[in-house]
A and B are shown apart, each in its own frame.
Chain A
Amino acid sequence: MERNENNKIEPPRLARRFLSWYCRPELLEDLEGDLNEYFERNVSTKGVAKARLIYILDVFKFLRSYIVRKPDFLNLFIQRNMIGSYVKISGRSILRNKLFSFINIAGLAVSMSVALLLISLLSDMTSYDKFHKNYERIYRIKTQSEQDKFASTSLLAGKLIKEAISGIEEIAIVYREFGGDMRVGDKIVPLFGMWANESFLKVFSFPMISGDPATALANPNSIVLTEKSAKKLFGDGDALGKTITWPDKDNEREFVVTGIIKDIPTFSHVKFDLLASLSTREVMKKTDQYEMAWDNIWNGYVYLLLPEGTDLENLQYNLSTLSAKENKTIKEATINLSLQPLSDIALGEDLNNSIGTVMVSSNVWMIGILSIIVILSACFNYTNLSIARSLRRSREVGIRKIVGALRSHVIGQFVVEAIIIALAAMCFSFVLFVLLKPFFLALNNQHKDMLVLDLSPGIILYFLLFAVCVGIAAGIVPAMYFASVNAIKVLKNISAVRGFGNMTVRQVLIIIQFTVSLTFIASTIIGYKHYKQILASDLGFDTENVLNIALAGNNSARLKKELLEMPEVIDVSTSQIVTSVGNYYGTMMHYADPKDSENTHFNTIDERYLPLHGHKLLAGRNFIAQADSAAESEVIVNEKVLKRFNIRGQDPLKAIGEIVDVDGKKLQIIGVMKDYHYGKSIDTEMNEVIFRYSPSSTGYINAKIVSKDLPTTLSKIETAWKKIDPVHTFSATFYDDEIERSYNDFSSRIKIIGYLSFLAICIAFIGLLGMVIFTTETRTKEISIRKVLGASIGNLIYLLSKNFIFLLGISMLIAIPLTYSFFAEYALSYYAESAPPALAELTGGLLAILGLTLTMICAQTIKVANSNPAEVLKNE
């Protein structure tokens, strides 16, 4: 049969590859030949399409037991001695190419350090609450109101579930915020905990040292202490059965210790010093209508212990029915209950009113994805450099293949090599991990409270497993590349394998790498600028040099007097809360129409507060000092209040003297102040705010301080505090620091992304450096000849670096619009007062990085371009 060589019709490629994949190597050749012969015959008799179809069918028909090969991986493990050889060869190759190994190990090490942190973080977070015997069966009730999601729910919900829904083993009901200065005899110890019903200790397995878990919290006036609090109150003596006095707002109450439990483990999402029986609260609040209201969803928590094999959907249906029924009893609100497994609490969705600190899983995933990107970037380096060096290694592979190595052996060799590099990198990154750990823990309160990051054999195993995975990820592409090397071609003619054959793939990798790193850097720049902008933004009042001292329930007068005696303290005022850092106090207020009332933010202050903080009055006057006993009669409002209630045509001057109703009291407006940020400055626009008067509030003392030696002044104030209150620790923060701390989340995120982008750019940088070095090294001969023929150094630099500059240019063109649009459209759009990211600064920052990279490229090319051509050519 005659056939034109150039126009040969080939059998379908995929089918052929499939055949050679499954067929035993010793049977493959003649079988393939047979199929080819039939194919050629069919092409001439039945046409190409049909011949192809028959070929494909035949390939499947030959899929028989005696033809199919045994799996290769099995071979890999059977031939253990080969692994020894892989390790040996890999070791030699790593040592021979020190630069290559250094670049890879360094890149992988820095990127893996982040991953190690993340692994130990995840391990910490997933071990939360695992110590409970019934971990798998505990669910929390969460609440969805029309505005938001809450971890808390109403006490009524707990009660109703108990009454109306069957098939629940136990229901633990908790009400937070119990505690204060607990007293035993003369001893006062501030302790904080929760109210809990009798099922609490049955649902959760906090081990009891003494007392009966079933009944400890059943009766009113019972209290359960942790071991530590018992020691604080009673020393080493037996605490069981003793009484503790709790100072309630109006009267004192005696509690009997009915149980002592072991200290709460770190990995528990609820933390407390003591538990009071919820039945006490029921007695106390018997007449309070709101206590058992369906929409009082702010402080209660309900945990269900479900029997094994509960139908969750059915239970959810019952909860929804119950919610629908109860929603009819309240106005203007819909509240829906749903289930949340215990495993989703510590690391889970972003809920309001969470009990204790939690970590939002989306944040963790974000960091996870970013660090995976950084690790991939380091893997790209490995891939890129390995393929760039293929010139050198492919001969070795050729020999291996001729000696009898299978595809799988070659792949094994290169993957093992990558794994060894990854393991070496892992050792370095472990050192980095240990160094980074304290910084990471100190990054924000969440980390400090929730994480330990201790090492355990399990974690180390995860680390090693991770390193192996990274090794495989980095090594698989070069391994595939080398496995497909044609042995004969390589050995016959080395130039057949152009070292830079696969240029497009690697160009794409470099572009991706730089685009990612530039995007990271740009995001950090924008984020940091935005952060600084927020901190510097005008709140509408003056916070400079104001020290806020928490009073912890003490009377302010004594400390005030002590403070005013110090020369460094210019002025002192008191306030109920510190505003503009995310604290809110609200109260109902209305003007002429009682039906048109609004929940208005307020702060209770004394007469020195306004001048000390530089609030501007548009009309009227400040409060005048009054006696403690005087009834509240005056209020200062802001412009927004005038607007909201339309008081006297919103004219500040006319509004003075009007009467408003605040919290059921008739108060006279004596002043109108300019609007200011009561909430955080980024959150929302400014809202209605009122100032109420109290000469002696128990919240904070605001001291304006001018001092050259702050530490001494602070210690002086602390000494004064100790004299007045030996029990509570002195807690004072400068207003500016407090504002900064309220953006802790924001700043810690910027720090993490900043660190990651630093890593990303370093990795991309050294990766590119490696590429440049290898490119120039392989082209030294060419360069020498060019020089001999008269090329100038400028020409040579241009020749060598134009490719890289082109790639960098492309990645910059992708990165800038990408980041810009991301921030302009999405990330910053919901902040009220943010300017769009400045394109000039963005480009400036990126240009600096590109400049650095270009300098590196030029330095390397100049080195090669300056080499003496005679030397280079003589050596050949």
Chain B
Amino acid sequence: MRYTTKSLLGLLFLLTVICGPVHAQTELLTKAAGLIPQSGQGDEIRSAFNANVDRVRLMVLLSPT
């Protein structure tokens, strides 16, 4: 019984360690891909990026101030 409980706890710990960062990464990717133009019009950034696949693309990340 003790052995089973310990195994389950160990498994839970491993799942947390493995899945936590993966979940965080997925969430970041989803948010990043979903960025929409400041004007509120046009494509999401990933769509726009891929729509311009035949072009050279420059992506700049900046602080406005």
Partners in one complex: no
